[in-house]
Amino acid sequence: MAQSTGRVAGKKAFVTGGAQGLGAAAGRRLAEEGARVCLADINLAGAQAVAAEINAAHGAGTAFAFALDVTQEDQWIAVLEQASAAMGGLSVLVNNAGIGGDGPLETLDFALWKKVMSVNVDSVFLGAKHALGHMRANQPGSIINFSSIAGLIANGNSPAYNASKAAVWLLSKNIALYCAKQGLDIRSNSIHPTFIDTPILDPFSERFGKEAAHAKLGRQIPLGHIGEPADIANAVLYLASDESKFMTGAELKLDGGISAM
Ligand SMILES: NC(=O)c1ccc[n+]([C@@H]2O[C@H](COP(=O)([O-])OP(=O)(O)OC[C@H]3O[C@@H](n4cnc5c(N)ncnc54)[C@H](O)[C@@H]3O)[C@@H](O)[C@H]2O)c1
């Protein structure tokens, strides 16, 4: 196959939560621009389906799928080893897997609080901790952590989601400074989307009907509508590429203007 001249040609990216939604969109976009990608998810069948679709479009060996629960350190260690072997290294880590679903403070079950914190925050710590060893050998590198606009603006209804995404925001900066201090050409930045059309919005759509739910959410956004997965995938592409080589410890808000208010 001819050498790709894409914006991330030669990059080797590991994307968590790659079976659907924003992780799958990021995997597809990175592959379109010349990267090899590993899609890791607790939903292995979903990740395999996305990998097969990418390979059909861009050639066998472009995408790989792995089972990974991002809260489990032993799984991270084993899967990163396998992913790195499959792609011939690792230069981009996309910590995308995350969950919502918590509720008001006084009725929120402690077990659900801990689950949201673990999936959203432990994942970023464990991913960065264990990916850096592989990324050192594949510089320049980029770590892209999924926070949310809810990590910067509280909403009074989802304390675990707010707290976990705020933790990801500052943890990203910590990782950025750690890497810089180590003299590594490995950057770390966070992404902060507002409502984007993915299955994460299903509970809301089930309650109000999809069209009405999206319209209701869109009314909160200055641009007047919710975002598309491609809006976020393009930001991941930019942060994964060397076009963003002077950007580290920063946050990229993709929120239709909500945080400007
Ligand atoms: N869609 C939005 O409106 C929105 C807005 C702001 C931030 N985000 C963030 O973007 C990220 C992706 O969201 P999405 O909308 O694509 O969600 P989604 O629910 O569509 O997809 C999440 C994926 O993560 C996987 N996952 C869940 N728990 C996991 C675990 N323990 N280990 C491995 N994989 C796991 C799921 O199987 C799923 O494939 C999340 O971190 C989310 O908080 C989304």
238 as an active site residue: the answer is no
Mean pLDDT over all residues of the chain? 97
| pLDDT for position 237 | 98
Amino acid making up residue 46: G
What's residue 1's pLDDT? 44
* Sign (positive or negative) of CA dihedral 175, 177, 183, 185: positive
**Whether residue 227 has its Cβ less than 6 Å from ligand 1:** no
Q: Report the share of the chain in percent with pLDDT over 70.
A: 98
Distance in angstroms (rounded) separating the CA atoms of residues 174 and 72: 21
Domains along the chain? Answer: 12-197+226-260 (3.40.50.720)
Residue 159: count of CB within 10 angstroms of its CB: 18
**Percent with pLDDT over 90 in the chain:** 97
The yes-or-no verdict on residue 3 having pLDDT over 90 is: no
> Is any atom of ligand 1 closer than 6 Å to the C-beta of 255?
no
Closest CA to 96 of 175, 180, 22: 22
CA 18 – CA 147 distance, rounded (Å)? 16
Distance 97 CA to ligand 1 centre (A): 4
Largest distance between two CA atoms of the chain: 58
Asked whether the CA dihedral 242, 148, 180, 143 is positive or negative, the reply is negative
d(CA 96, CA 129): 16
Question: Ligand 1 atom 1: the closest Cα is on which residue?
Answer: 196
**What was the pLDDT predicted at 260?**
97
For range 74-98, the mean pLDDT: 98
Q: Which of the four pLDDT bands, split at 50, 70 and 90, describes residue 5?
A: confident
pTM of the model: 0.98
